[in-house]
Structure 1
Amino acid sequence: MYLRSHPLTARLIVFVLLPLLGCALWMWSNVRNSLPSEGTIQITEGVGAPVTLSRDEHGVVHVSAGNDRDAFFAIGYAQAQDRLWQLELQRRMARGRLSEVLGKDSIDADVLFRTLGLYESARSAWPALSAPARASLTAYTAGINARLAHTAQLPAEFRILGVKPEPWTEIDSLAWIKVFALDLGGNYRREIDRFVAQSALTPEQVAIFFPEYPAQAPTTVASVEQAQSLLAMADSQHELQSKLRLAAPNTGSNAWAVAGRHTADGGALLANDPHLGLQIPSLWYAISVDTPTLKVSGMSLIGLPVVVFGRNAQIAWGGTNMMADTQDLFFERADASGANYETDGVWQPFQVRSEVFNVRADFPEKLRRQYAPVTLQVRSSRHGPIISDHFKVFDQPVALRWTSLDAADTSYEAFFRMNYARDWNEFKQALSHHVAPAMNMLYADRAGNIGYLGAGRIPVRSRGEGTIPSPGWDSSYGWSGEVPPTQWPQAYNPPSGYLVSANNRVVGEDYPYFVSHDWASPARAQRIEQLLRQRIGSGRKLVAEDMQRIQADTVDLDAAAMMTRLRERLPQGEHGAQAATYLRGWNGDMRADSQAASIFHVWMQHFRSTLFADQLQGTWNNPQRTRLLRRLGDSVRLERLGRLIQDDPTGWCDNRDTSRRETCEQALASSQASALDELHKLRGGWSMRDWQWGQVQKTVYTHIPMSAMKPLDKVFERRIGNGGSSNSINVASSNFAYADGYLQDFGAGFRQVIALSPRQVTHWYMNSTGQSGNAMSPHYDDMVEPFRDVRYYRLRTSADGALPAPNTASMAAAGASR
């Protein structure tokens, strides 16, 4: 009766809602069919003997095979079952082909990856690998493609975007290592930041942003057009970092190892939690492998068949970003035609290749005109690709020199051999092949030994330190070699009985080679050491649960130090006095249930804005330069802010928009008033009991590309309230997003704690999101909450016995025969 009297409603239901509901049910049914079978299956095709592939209650894959080649095949098969869209996305990203499926908004990303030539560089790595390493990639590739050949139903992303997956190749795996290296090694962006800061600010002002920058470093004065190119590149890099979940410069991880003399059973302990841009699914994939010659478990990267961080039957290993300066920018002096560049007074031609980009039409595709292909001429000099050509700069182009673009990159060889290493010497021998990214590698074994090795190719410069762009036409600024692997930073069984790496400085002043100026704040490393010393000093032997509690720690030592300066400057007034009661006894713990953490963090963000946004506004009347300098201001460390409160010789606290002189105390008071107003708006009231940090800060696991598509973002993206800060061990780096509050887009991708003893190996882990990349899977997001709460699962394997020598010859033969 109702529908008869409301014909428009009836038509809406019959012709719109019911078809949409039917379509949704049809898609849900079909996508559900794309999920792999639960429990245990046997793989019989494409392998020499049946392989058992089982998934535990958390979706983690356990492979049991008669030989290593078949195990790598099964890993490829399993990753294609669980992460097919992620594999497709990574393959397109590394090849610079995202815009074919994601449209014009991805052109800049494609231009960057094609200009860098990641895929072509990966091709040169293939013949440099050993036969066993190549065989593992060939088997893994065959496994992915075997799954593709037998996949009738594709995950939802393929259907929504109308994309069909393409076959995987061995070079795709090697190219993804390059992307991983780019993610961890973006220090050329810091060169741009330094250069722009030097151009706009006094040396005293620059020091607040780059406190370790050496005054004697060379400075090159560039043309206005060239400076504009650097700014355009910096803006573009910032956008790509956000869209593609690339880590920001100066980001890293935690890892530490404790020797057997401090543990309950005499075996060593190792803990690791790498930090990267957060996304769903996670970049990491838990695996366990059992063959007669390979017993290994831990975290692999999607796109690789080996454990990157984990353990075998004898040793365990973890890693962090070394923060090494392995990228340099060079200004090239081109002639009027743009076809030649100068080298020590002699002209030589650029190498030139043409790149064509096919760009998908805007949505709805059938109603839009198809874009014409975009063509880009990519030039390269002796230093590397010209990364400024996309920004139409031809008078003085900018080239990138980067260790990862060197020919014959054997980084995969290092990852591969680590899986088979049985002791410290074999561990070092494996890593001697590592090129990029430069990493701090922590080692532990069942005999109770621990070690550290700074692994990766570190350039030796003929002149300067490469902290700002150098004149490419003068060969005296070039690279003269690399640090020999025998002189890489290393330590073995130190007197303290523990080793800590948290992106802090890795070498002392007496180290003969330059590594970096861009170390992270030492706060995380200091806190890890503090907690270890407390437990060791109590006389109690350490166990895995102690390592887990340390990984959960949210105390920010930089915040605690800042509070010692602020306690005499706490605000007054009605709301200020209430806030002061929370702050007065606060110890810097950024717990999720802390009101003081919210008040402090937001206060410091507004203090930074008061200091730097006002001062840097309109610098040179250039909005791009202003944006870059403001981003620098947003990242100034608490330690530097504390120094300004004590002494402000450059007048940062004085607001130039007012006629009267302002002090840092006044800036602190005004910024806290702004912070309290912001928290009042975010939480909807002045009851500060509701201002817990975990209600203000949320962790965001972004899905590419569905997070940018309303309302599909609700289906694919995940958010959860969280504590922590950028300087706490349980790290959480967030940015203000207006009504959404503070959104954490950077943090730990997984956590592992591995206890090795003469009797057994115990392996605890937690992935950040889930094992599956299929939104219809129960394992798509089943680890989000446990990860936030720092809970762990046991990764059970059979890798507790002695490890026989790897039968690499037979594995290579098996790979070659298929």
Structure 2
Amino acid sequence: MSAKKFSVSFLFPGITLVLVVWGLSIQMMGVPPLGKFLNPFFGPQQNQRVVANPLAGTAMPGLLVTWDDREVPHVFGETDEALYYGQGFVTASQRMWQMDFLSYVAAGRLSEVLGEAYLDFDRYQRRQGILMAAETSLAFIEEHPETKAMLDAYTAGVNAHRDGLSYAEYPVEYKLLEYAPEPWTNLKSVLVMKYMAAQLSGYEEDLSASHLLATLGEDNFRTLYPNYRLTEEGQEPMLATFPRGMAFPEYLDYRFLEEDAVVNPSQYNPRLGSNSWAVSGAKTQSGNAILASDPHLNLTLPAIWLEIQLHGPDHNVYGVSIPGAPAVVIGFNSDLAWGVTNGATDVRDWYKLTLKEDLSAYEVDGEWVSVDKRVETFRVRHAETFTDTVYLTQYGPIVSDAQFTAVPEFQHMALRWGLHTPSNEYRALYGLNRAQNYDQFKASIQHFKSPVQNFTYADTEGHIALHHQGLVYQRGVGEGTFVLDGAESAELPQELPQDQLPFQLDPVQGFVANANNNPFTVSDSTYVGGYWSELRAATLRQNLSGLEASTVTDMQALQLDNTNAFAVRALPFLLSQLETSTGEAYAALKDWDGRYNASSQAAVYFDAWWDLIQYYAWDELFRLPHFFRTPDDVVQLTLMQQQPNHPLFDRLETEEVETAQEVIRKAWEVLLSETLPDSWGAENSVRFSHFTELEALGRSGFNPQGHPDALNALSENWGPTWRMVVEMTDEPQGVGLVAGGTTGNPVSPQYDQALEDWQAGRYFPLQRYPDAQAAQDAASAVWTSENP
């Protein structure tokens, strides 16, 4: 790995810096005073100091924290208050800046820290309704006494750590950006959860799809962007469109849409997802159920997760938490284990409005309906305070108007988003951490509404289950795929009843699995839109179907499987379309097994070839200002096989009329003329970025195996952030690894301690100690208050 650790030693080469430090200790032209940062008495050198027992003197009896040999914290609380106070204190000690910064991002407050350049971003966040949603959810959460008490204790723990810090001990980022940590609040913990909900449910294609439909016409749009899923026949995944097809709104034409609108790419990533599955004892060597979970999210430093054990008066749970949020999100306790994947369900709808010029009312069925108003205030660094009026409708907030033109494509449109609905995900996590059986698990997850998730389950009794869970809209066929007409009254989509959400319990095939695929089967009467990944899930199901006498090691191998099932399916057909069967590239691909191993040159050839095929196949789409994505790979391959003479394969820049075969051959010709890396490892460079985007605080130069369409799904900036496999023995045993270290301190050796192990696909035992004494006996450090 070519990555270099950020070390403070290079910042202090000699005593000659003293005068420079003094000269740079004032702020000039909005640039943070670097001198304070370089000062050895206040700067990052002070962040190397280790306090033996930071809990000493805190007024919280019954609290003990131990640290194991991988620097994982184990929190023991004799009461729930002590437990969550301890989790808050520990999390702040490791990730204070990260969790604080995420709350600023979600609330639309970056301009307070980074200045006027971020004001448009902040206004967009507020106009999407994220802060408003957090405030209404907090009120709902605090109506439940247990979740209010949990948040109160966590907040108190965070603030106890914060209040004990001097400037010299502030995390490095506060010094770089020249601001101080403010008191933590329960609202901040809700904002962190809303940030995650936005990341996982914020993607939608309504406006782009509307323009493409108007441009391509119904037949071409239906051909290129069908509502489909994969079914298996033998070992061959087959594309099957839903028999109900797609309904196209009559109003959708260029009288309704702005004809030349440029649709900007979404700020959200539709590829973020996960794998999670459970197998019953009938498929394992030991006869115990096994659960595996590996969420694929943005690769960041500090790591997105904090690995932790929480041992309270009535439960003992191990897994990963989100910095800023109490409880364990993915993990296992004494009786059961659970994992999650993103539901990928479409929960964002746009309504085009007819508004009065002063935005005081909008038209519905010829009648004017008054808007509500919400005034948002922004404290802007080195500038005057700014206020913004957000107009609210029955559908949701109006995101863009004459006063805010940063996203002009959404001018006079209202956003309805599932995360706006008040919800209490903390009640779900509180119950999950303590659940002792399937019924308690099921009752707990019903409180998890946003983002929509797929929960996998396994327990020590041998039961396995899978639930699609969250606020899912009950729609008419095709509803929500395109921009909706807000001027015509229609009943707003309601939440699908809990008993109509898909689930499986102890299925006859002996496994449950989800990899962000559509959980609704072809025969279901309910229409639900989404942005699903079908082929990876089909690969997972095929692998699990063939398992016998499997072990934890087999599950690890599945998580690390680098096979791109699409390449395996497509390659024989693509090669058959060529005129030649010779040459280095052809020979490499002919015998290739589809594995994206670091040493594979065939993987480089295939990836580049398919990119070129897409470029030449969809040249007319790439020219459109509202183009959003190429057709799904399986859809394109099926079209090439079944309709090779389709007019869309004709290239606009030539006089000849091309077929699919000629597109494939042209792409091959260009491929052979290019200079390509000699291995996938050289091509596949992965970076762990810091939120500041400062290179010294991130890590690069990683060249792992894997591919976005493999089970080991990763790209240049996202991938498996937590790998976990748990065998449900009498006392469940787990192995796993977080992509990153425990601490968020860039000058600590533990900041990136696990990245080499992550790249190598290593796993470590997850030490869920039965009691505090066992944890102390194995501890590398122990924290306790003076009044335990």
The two structures share one fold, judged by TM-score above 0.5: yes
Aligned residue number for residue 684 of structure 2: 697
- For residues 155 and 657 of structure 1, do their structure 2 counterparts lie closer, same or farther at Cα, with a shift above 3 Å needed? same
1:718 is aligned with what amino acid? Answer: S
Aligned residue number for residue 288 of structure 2: 267
Aligned residue number for residue 234 of structure 2: none
CA offsets, 1:428-469, max 9 Å, x none?
Answer: 101111211111100100111101111111122367521111
Cα offset for 1:642?
Answer: 5.0
User: Is this contact kept in 2: 1:35–1:81, CA < 8 A?
Assistant: no
- For residues 19 and 560 of structure 1, do their structure 2 counterparts lie closer, same or farther at Cα, with a shift above 3 Å needed? farther
2:536 is aligned with what amino acid? Answer: R
User: Is this contact kept in 1: 2:93–2:161, CA < 8 A?
Assistant: yes
User: Is this contact kept in 1: 2:76–2:312, CA < 8 A?
Assistant: yes
Structure 1 segment 304-703 matched on structure 2, within 5 A: 304-360=325-381, 370-389=382-401, 390-391=404-405, 397-407=412-422, 409-461=423-475, 465-476=479-490, 478-479=492-493, 481-520=494-533, 522-536=534-548, 541-570=549-578, 572=580, 577-612=583-618, 614-616=619-621, 618-619=623-624, 625=625, 628-629=626-627, 631-633=628-630, 636-644=632-640, 646-680=642-676, 683=677, 691-703=678-690
1:196 is aligned with what amino acid? Answer: H
1:194 is aligned with what amino acid? Answer: A
Aligned residue number for residue 753 of structure 2: 782
Cα offset for 1:423?
Answer: 0.5
1:667 is aligned with what amino acid? Answer: V
CA offsets, 1:363-422, max 9 Å, x none?
Answer: xxxxxxx44444422111001111223328699721111221013x12221122111111
Aligned residue number for residue 713 of structure 1: 695
Cα offset for 1:475?
Answer: 2.4
- For residues 727 and 219 of structure 1, do their structure 2 counterparts lie closer, same or farther at Cα, with a shift above 3 Å needed? farther
1:615 is aligned with what amino acid? Answer: E
- Indicate the larger mover: 279-288 or 552-561: 279-288
- Indicate the larger mover: 527-536 or 789-798: 527-536
User: Is this contact kept in 1: 2:651–2:657, CA < 8 A?
Assistant: yes
Q: For 1:166, what is the secondary structure of its paired residue?
A: coil
Q: For 1:718, what is the secondary structure of its paired residue?
A: strand
Q: For 1:652, what is the secondary structure of its paired residue?
A: helix
1:723 is aligned with what amino acid? Answer: Q
- For residues 174 and 660 of structure 1, do their structure 2 counterparts lie closer, same or farther at Cα, with a shift above 3 Å needed? same
Aligned residue number for residue 10 of structure 2: none
Q: For 1:391, what is the secondary structure of its paired residue?
A: coil
Uncovered stretches (5+) of structure 2, i.e. residues with no partner? 1-13, 25-33, 229-244, 773-788
User: Is this contact kept in 2: 1:559–1:638, CA < 8 A?
Assistant: no
Cα offset for 1:125?
Answer: 2.0
Aligned residue number for residue 118 of structure 1: 130
1:694 is aligned with what amino acid? Answer: G
- For residues 103 and 549 of structure 1, do their structure 2 counterparts lie closer, same or farther at Cα, with a shift above 3 Å needed? same
1:756 is aligned with what amino acid? Answer: M
Q: 2: distance between equivalents of 1:423 and 1:797?
A: 19
Aligned residue number for residue 163 of structure 1: 179
Alignment of 1:798 with 2:769, yes or no, is yes
CA offsets, 1:543-586, max 9 Å, x none?
Answer: 2111101101011111111101122235759xx81111110111
User: Is this contact kept in 1: 2:371–2:392, CA < 8 A?
Assistant: yes
Q: 2: distance between equivalents of 1:723 and 1:184?
A: 25
Aligned with 1:730 (options 707, 712, 729)? 712
- Indicate the larger mover: 53-62 or 80-89: 53-62
Cα offset for 1:513?
Answer: 2.0
Alignment of 1:745 with 2:757, yes or no, is no
Aligned residue number for residue 366 of structure 1: none
Q: 1: distance between equivalents of 2:311 and 2:611?
A: 50
Q: For 2:558, what is the secondary structure of its paired residue?
A: helix
2:684 is aligned with what amino acid? Answer: Q
2:736 is aligned with what amino acid? Answer: Y
TM-score scaled by structure 2?
Answer: 0.86
Alignment of 1:33 with 2:46, yes or no, is yes
- For residues 25 and 397 of structure 1, do their structure 2 counterparts lie closer, same or farther at Cα, with a shift above 3 Å needed? closer
Q: Higher RCO, 1 or 2 (CA under 8 Å, sep at least 6)?
A: 2
User: Is this contact kept in 2: 1:287–1:299, CA < 8 A?
Assistant: yes
1:112 is aligned with what amino acid? Answer: Y
- For residues 75 and 343 of structure 1, do their structure 2 counterparts lie closer, same or farther at Cα, with a shift above 3 Å needed? same
Uncovered stretches (5+) of structure 1, i.e. residues with no partner? 1-9, 361-369, 620-624, 684-690, 734-743, 802-818
CA offsets, 1:503-535, max 9 Å, x none?
Answer: 112121332322225321x22222222222333
User: Is this contact kept in 2: 1:698–1:722, CA < 8 A?
Assistant: yes
- For residues 163 and 512 of structure 1, do their structure 2 counterparts lie closer, same or farther at Cα, with a shift above 3 Å needed? same
Alignment of 1:142 with 2:156, yes or no, is yes
Q: For 2:735, what is the secondary structure of its paired residue?
A: strand
- For residues 371 and 670 of structure 1, do their structure 2 counterparts lie closer, same or farther at Cα, with a shift above 3 Å needed? farther
Q: 1: distance between equivalents of 2:39 and 2:727?
A: 48
User: Is this contact kept in 2: 1:598–1:696, CA < 8 A?
Assistant: yes
Q: For 2:685, what is the secondary structure of its paired residue?
A: strand
Alignment of 1:180 with 2:196, yes or no, is yes
- Indicate the larger mover: 695-704 or 19-28: 19-28
Q: 1: distance between equivalents of 2:771 and 2:460?
A: 10
TM-score scaled by structure 1?
Answer: 0.83
User: Is this contact kept in 1: 2:37–2:43, CA < 8 A?
Assistant: no
Aligned residue number for residue 364 of structure 1: none
Q: 1: distance between equivalents of 2:363 and 2:218?
A: 31
Q: For 1:310, what is the secondary structure of its paired residue?
A: strand
User: Is this contact kept in 1: 2:289–2:462, CA < 8 A?
Assistant: yes
CA offsets, 1:1-21, max 9 Å, x none?
Answer: xxxxxxxxx9x9998799999
- Indicate the larger mover: 294-303 or 123-132: 123-132
2:86 is aligned with what amino acid? Answer: A
Q: 1: distance between equivalents of 2:304 and 2:61?
A: 30
1:227 is aligned with what amino acid? Answer: E
- For residues 28 and 571 of structure 1, do their structure 2 counterparts lie closer, same or farther at Cα, with a shift above 3 Å needed? farther
Q: Which has the higher helix share?
A: 1
Aligned residue number for residue 220 of structure 1: 251
User: Is this contact kept in 2: 1:553–1:728, CA < 8 A?
Assistant: yes
CA offsets, 1:284-312, max 9 Å, x none?
Answer: 11110122312001011111111111011
Q: 2: distance between equivalents of 1:283 and 1:300?
A: 9
Q: For 2:751, what is the secondary structure of its paired residue?
A: coil
Q: 2: distance between equivalents of 1:529 and 1:595?
A: 28
Aligned residue number for residue 280 of structure 1: 301
> Cα RMSD over matched residues?
3.0
User: Is this contact kept in 2: 1:462–1:476, CA < 8 A?
Assistant: no
Cα offset for 1:66?
Answer: 1.3
Cα offset for 1:134?
Answer: 1.0
Q: 1: distance between equivalents of 2:384 and 2:355?
A: 30
Q: For 2:647, what is the secondary structure of its paired residue?
A: coil
User: Is this contact kept in 1: 2:37–2:176, CA < 8 A?
Assistant: no
Q: 2: distance between equivalents of 1:81 and 1:272?
A: 27
Cα offset for 1:185?
Answer: 1.1
Cα offset for 1:793?
Answer: 1.4
